[in-house]
Structure 1
Amino acid sequence: MSKPETAPQTDPAAEAQAAVHVDEVAVRFRTRKRDVTALREVSLDVPMGEFVSIVGPSGCGKSTLLKLVAGLLKPTTGTVRLRGDKVTGPRHDIGYVFQRAALLEWRSARRNILLQAEMRKMPSAQARRRADELIEMTGLRGFEDALPHELSGGMQQRVALCRALLHEPRVLLMDEPFGALDALTREQLNVEMNRIWRETGTTVLLVTHSIAEAAYLSNRVVVMSDRPGTIREIIDVDLPAERQYSPTMAKPEFSRVTSRIRDLLGAGAAAD
């Protein structure tokens, strides 16, 4: 069920096939008073089409790892590759969803989605067709002309997800996208996210503090240590790709995964 990451080694075949390849990465920052190591000896391969969640204590470098993949940060040591290409700067072939939807208040849901097309200079007809597909896929039909203040938090996050997927990225990075939502809305969006992932075939790397969310959505869960963050263990989630929410929660394999994550993170993580 699990794969300890005590001595990661580079596999050339896995690297060639990986959507995301992280090899012996460390990140160190210098402050006025001291040097801070955010990540230490992190190695990870995410195959094309896989859904991987990253969990760990606050401040362990989960978001830092996403920023490395996106090219928003450079590793102090080690290498990051995206679909075989070394990441040397900001990548424009990914999608990124943050905890806050960050919608423009004066633009409708549809026009917020199409902002991506304007920034990327996508052909307008193609962008409108893609936006219509995503609006249908995410259950936003009937709300496409609403302004952000007229939408619930869950609806706003659906708009943000559509915006991130508009250009059909092969890799989607998600940094606590459902963390600020109420429990019921979060469950509903987990179900929607599972369906969207299956329909699009997008590789997803999700940072979350929710153990249940990580186990429900993922093929594998990466469990990180306290700072300096490193990978303690990678846990396989042996569940079918299509997952109903309550029946999945009741499965023994789901319980085994969540229990193992809690064991690795400590008793303080058992609240979620």
Structure 2
Amino acid sequence: MPNDTTVHQSLGTPRGAALPAVGIDAVDVRFRTRKRDVTALSGVSLDVAMGEFVALVGPSGCGKSTLLKLVAGLLAPSTGEVRLQGEAVRGPRHDIGYVFQRAALLEWRSARRNILLQAEMRKMPTAQARARADQLIGMTGLQGFEDAYPHELSGGMQQRVALCRALLHEPPVLLMDEPFGALDALTREQMNVELHRIWRDTGTTVLLVTHSIAEAVYLADRVVVMSPRPGTIREIIDVGLPAERDYAETMARPEFAEATAHIRGLLGTAAAGD
């Protein structure tokens, strides 16, 4: 990556990738309430390359989560098209992973059995699923807590279980909707470091919604800055940081300061969730 921070509006596939993992082409989302018609997204186009980490930031209600639902096939665009690995999204996609703000674990199942719930729903071969679960448990530092129940786990550990569950079937695309928003600041930092390492280890394409500018810049290759509703893409920032990122060292880099300051300026705020 370049060492300087470059700002650009990207409508094509970044870095010359032949086929984007996610393609969003001229998408509008409109819906009707009791009192009025609402345009949630307007003219949104974005390509996310295979293995890329892209973060979405913007004001509350600007359509960030709506974009994730479009990619997941949980919502259909009013106009435009969404594609996953070149295939048009026509309904709910079962090949993706999805992590929400709340871990949403089943209280009567252990950590391991919560992870393996994904395998049961997908009818994965038992031996394959257990081996993959063990791999993810080791990758996320959950060893020794495999048999613990959700009430015995901290918030950060619960989110690690949810992340393992989402990655169990090795999805090509992982969608994350403010996954660390409910955690305390220290745990959130630790989860940022863990997520970045796991992303590098797995090569999964990640699309993350966050209200934290610092989180977005630390984790992502590119940060998509959205406007207030109707949501449009204001700018896309290539953060220009090294692929391997020590947390404290990254926070002190001039590229980090430049990118976060620029995004704050775009959002018209001095903090925006940091």
TM bin, normalised by shorter chain, reads: over 0.9
Partner amino acid, structure 1, of 2:52: E
Q: CA deviation at 1:15?
A: 8.2
Alignment of 1:61-140 (within 5 A): 61-140=63-142
- Aligned-partner Cα distance in 1 for 2:89–2:271: 33
Given that 2:17 and 2:50 are in contact with CA atoms closer than 8 Å, whether structure 1 keeps it comes out as no
Q: CA deviation at 1:269?
A: 3.7
- Aligned-partner Cα distance in 2 for 1:138–1:169: 17
Aligned residue number for residue 25 of structure 1: 27
Q: CA deviation at 1:242?
A: 1.1
Q: CA deviation at 1:16?
A: 4.9
SS in 1 for 2:165: helix
Say whether 1:174 aligns with 2:187.
no
Of 154, 157, 175, which aligns to 2:156?
154
Given that 2:24 and 2:81 are in contact with CA atoms closer than 8 Å, whether structure 1 keeps it comes out as yes
Q: CA deviation at 1:29?
A: 0.6
- Aligned-partner Cα distance in 2 for 1:36–1:24: 17
For residues 141-164 of structure 1, the C-alpha deviation after alignment (integer angstroms, 9 at most, x for no partner) is 000000000000000000000000
Number of matched pairs:
270
Q: CA deviation at 1:4?
A: 3.9
Q: CA deviation at 1:48?
A: 0.2
What is the TM-score normalised by the length of structure 1? 0.96
After superposition, the Cα gap between the structure-2 partners of 1:85 and 1:216, relative to the gap in structure 1 and judged at 3 Å, is same
Q: CA deviation at 1:32?
A: 1.2
- Aligned-partner Cα distance in 2 for 1:82–1:232: 23
Given that 1:63 and 1:207 are in contact with CA atoms closer than 8 Å, whether structure 2 keeps it comes out as yes
- Aligned-partner Cα distance in 1 for 2:273–2:178: 17
For residues 213-264 of structure 1, the C-alpha deviation after alignment (integer angstroms, 9 at most, x for no partner) is 0000000000000000000000001111111100000000000010010000
Unmatched 5+ residue regions in structure 1? none
- Aligned-partner Cα distance in 2 for 1:212–1:31: 35
Partner amino acid, structure 2, of 1:261: I
- Aligned-partner Cα distance in 2 for 1:107–1:271: 33
Alignment of 1:1-272 (within 5 A): 1-5=5-9, 16-267=18-269, 269-270=271-272, 272=274
Unmatched 5+ residue regions in structure 2? none
Given that 1:99 and 1:178 are in contact with CA atoms closer than 8 Å, whether structure 2 keeps it comes out as yes
Partner amino acid, structure 2, of 1:251: R
Percent identical pairs in the alignment equals: 78
Given that 1:60 and 1:225 are in contact with CA atoms closer than 8 Å, whether structure 2 keeps it comes out as yes
Given that 1:15 and 1:84 are in contact with CA atoms closer than 8 Å, whether structure 2 keeps it comes out as no
- Aligned-partner Cα distance in 1 for 2:192–2:75: 28
Root mean square deviation, CA, Å: 1.6
SS in 1 for 2:21: strand
After superposition, the Cα gap between the structure-2 partners of 1:138 and 1:9, relative to the gap in structure 1 and judged at 3 Å, is closer
- Aligned-partner Cα distance in 2 for 1:246–1:68: 35
Deviates more, 1:103-112 or 1:262-271: 262-271
Given that 1:15 and 1:21 are in contact with CA atoms closer than 8 Å, whether structure 2 keeps it comes out as no
- Aligned-partner Cα distance in 2 for 1:270–1:87: 32
After superposition, the Cα gap between the structure-2 partners of 1:271 and 1:155, relative to the gap in structure 1 and judged at 3 Å, is closer
Q: CA deviation at 1:2?
A: 3.6
Q: CA deviation at 1:267?
A: 2.1
Partner amino acid, structure 2, of 1:21: G
Given that 1:2 and 1:233 are in contact with CA atoms closer than 8 Å, whether structure 2 keeps it comes out as no
What is the TM-score normalised by the length of structure 2? 0.95
